[in-house]
Structure 1
């Protein structure tokens, strides 16, 4: 009976959409950053599968289909970027420098903290691409010799954390410039964080979308170099 109900692609898609809808409704009602719809959906799906003892392979049949659309959805972020093309041309030097420094910082912070805590190298390598979008992060993880599944988890946690805490951090450090806001969010928390940047304004959303692409490209090139230097 369990196989009949859950061992199909429809189950993974259906429970993901329902969980996200519930998460969205909860967030709209309370407006608490910690109740991010993706985070709530993740918890709901986890609880449901644990209670009914459903194998992850059942969920993956539908979840992988939804995951396929991550890359096209990321490409769609080019729309707000195109609208703010003038801003991009005006601040391109700051954007490139900020993306480079942010990407290097993201990698070094993971490596140094991981070494300090004594984390195994293969796990550490899986965490290195945590701040870039999932399609690129998976390939970087494979390139470095990490475990893509752990990388996806790290990327997801990073994105949700950025979405939740970005407004607080911007207020804490009194960052008012729209370009700086977008760059900071996009570089540190990729597409999930960008959804929060888009809520802040068109400039923030466009800069965040741009930084996703730049940070991904930079990470592909500098991650192996930095790791070799640290070794």
Structure 2
């Protein structure tokens, strides 16, 4: 009887069978064509998988959010979503590829690499500055080196999320850094010409173009609209 049990176990191992409760991790570099039913944001879509609609999270990348319960819509989130949608909708065939680790994350989302007509969607989003390399959990790291090279290209070019200093961080995206960069980096030749000044008494005052004190004011901040200035705690010089 003992010999029979050992023989049965050996046959199961040799035939590649798995015992109930084990995790199917794939372990191949094969690709499977899928139908994308919805583009949720820059790094998440829905597909038909195993005959049902399933949410899929792109492996090894992160894009700004568009409808996060805590962060809401982050700068460049809609642009990343639209670019992701373009890559998918323009492709004749979309394929997914699994890595060797777990296929699902803690939110029960499928984890995969995506390809549009054979080209990596993740890599294209990284190259164009819509995504950063993130959520690196071994052993799902098959393309992390290639992705980091693509990310480095966008960083060097200072495009997309890398155009604004400290917007993309190791912890995610910092909307405050983006907004501050937008204000501080504004050229006085464009539409954002309202000067925000803090006087010796600590009063925050904004000066409109054409006002008597405008030319002589050295601004601490630039604003595009009066509402933006008021939201930042500044009052009009005419008050």
Q: TM-score, normalised by structure 2?
A: 0.23
Q: TM-score, normalised by structure 1?
A: 0.24
Q: Which has the higher helix share?
A: 1
Q: Which has the higher strand share?
A: 2
Larger radius of gyration: 2
* Higher relative contact order (Cα pairs below 8 Å, separated by 6+ residues): 1
